[in-house]
Amino acid sequence: MSSALRIALGEFGRVALLDMDRPLVRHAHSQCHVLLKVEGHDTQFEVGGRRIDLTDESAVLINAWEQHSYTHRPGQPPTIILALYIEPRWLGAFRENWHSSGTPGFFPRPGGTITPRMRQQVREIAEAMIQDPGDAAEHERLIGRLMISVIERMALWREAQPSIRALAAATGAPDRRISRALTMMRDDPARVTSMDWLSRESGLSRAHFFRLFEGTTGVSPRVYLNMVRVERAVQAVANEDRSFAAISDELGFSVPAHFSRFFHDHAGSSPSTFRTVSGLRRGDF
């Protein structure tokens, strides 16, 4: 069963060292997301409907809000993957226009060739997370060095950003009904019992609601709600001592087993393992 070997948390976001031998469902993140192979079998992710190889020589690059899934095939040997979920505001401290890592199109392609130097940086991060899980400062330093290498080689950060006036003209004002739905999801995800309920609360038919929502966010309402739940769950599991039953109830799951399955399908690890390897970083275990 897929499992987290180590989790690093900080201002940079989250970095997970995952031993993967089962698929992950289609999902999205609000962060810039980079996947790199550490060791094991070559594998694939699906990004925006395309199969992208993850090998010793290639990375998978996923823009914020871009839908993706892990396509581990039955009988395929496991792969250890370094999965980086990097906050745009942290990247902006390196270069101001790296704030755009939180917008679509930052990575022009969903995959790219890595250099021998980048491969060594991946190995150094993995070894540091395993050998000294409590050294948060060193982890952040190594993660920053790797992200600089990835972005300078594979992103469009040097290109001029569109003006705010042009961006506003192209996108228009967000529909107030969709804004209401987004607020309800973020404020109280447990309250959202179904997409039919959410569309009614937004004052729209289901079909119209789905069209407007995807046109505004680029993802379906279900994928967005799951993103909110995953991010809340990750923070609660890693940083709080509450029971998984309490976290499950807060996020709207009918039974804790459903929450555990959801967490594993989205984060690549059971909540209990995730909490343990996150606790190693804090010295709690």
| Domain containing residue 261: CATH number | 1.10.10.60
Compute the CA torsion angle 237, 242, 243, 246 (nearest 10 deg).
-100
Of the three residues 129, 154, 179, the one that is the final residue of a domain is 154
Residues 132 and 14 in one domain: yes
* % of the chain residues with pLDDT over 90: 82
Residues 70 and 116 in one domain: yes
Residues 60 and 112 in one domain: yes
Residues 171 and 150 in one domain: no
Q: Is 54 contained in some domain?
A: yes
Residue 7's DSSP bridge partners are 16
The whole-angstrom separation of Cα 218 and Cα 195 is 16
- Please report the DSSP string for 190-232 in residue order: GG---HHHHHHHTTS-HHHHHHHHHHHHSS-HHHHHHHHHHHH
The domain in which residue 251 lies consists of 167-282
Length of the chain: 285
Q: Is 147 contained in some domain?
A: yes
Of the three residues 130, 154, 178, the one that is the final residue of a domain is 154
Q: Is 160 contained in some domain?
A: no
Residues 227 and 250 in one domain: yes
Residues 30 and 148 in one domain: yes
Q: How many domains does the chain have?
A: 2
Give tens-digit pLDDT for 99-149: 889 888 899 999 999 999 999 999 999 999 999 999 999 999 999 999 999
Residues 272 and 219 in one domain: yes
Question: End-to-end alpha-carbon separation of the chain, Å?
Answer: 22
Burial class (CB in 10 A: 0-12, 13-18, 19+), 35: buried
Residues 141 and 15 in one domain: yes
Give tens-digit pLDDT for 212-248: 999 888 899 999 999 999 999 999 999 999 999 999 9
Average pLDDT of the residues of the chain: 91
Q: Is 271 contained in some domain?
A: yes
| Domain containing residue 59: CATH number | 2.60.120.10
**34-38, 47-51, 72-76, 105-109 — which is least confidently predicted?**
72-76
Question: Strands, E, within the chain: which ranges?
Answer: 3-10, 13-20, 24-27, 32-40, 43-47, 50-54, 58-62, 68-70, 79-86, 111-113
Tokens of residue 57, six digits: 């020589």
Confidence class of residue 280 from pLDDT cuts 50, 70 and 90?
Answer: low
Give tens-digit pLDDT for 196-208: 999 999 999 999 9
Residues 106 and 35 in one domain: yes
Which one-letter DSSP state was computed for residue 128? H
Residues 148 and 188 in one domain: no
Residue 285, pLDDT > 50, answer: no
Of the three residues 85, 119, 154, the one that is the final residue of a domain is 154
Residues 121 and 197 in one domain: no
- Sole residue written with tokens 């607020």: 183
Cβ(90)–Cβ(11) below 8 Å: yes
Residues 196 and 77 in one domain: no
Q: Is 159 contained in some domain?
A: no
Q: Is 84 contained in some domain?
A: yes
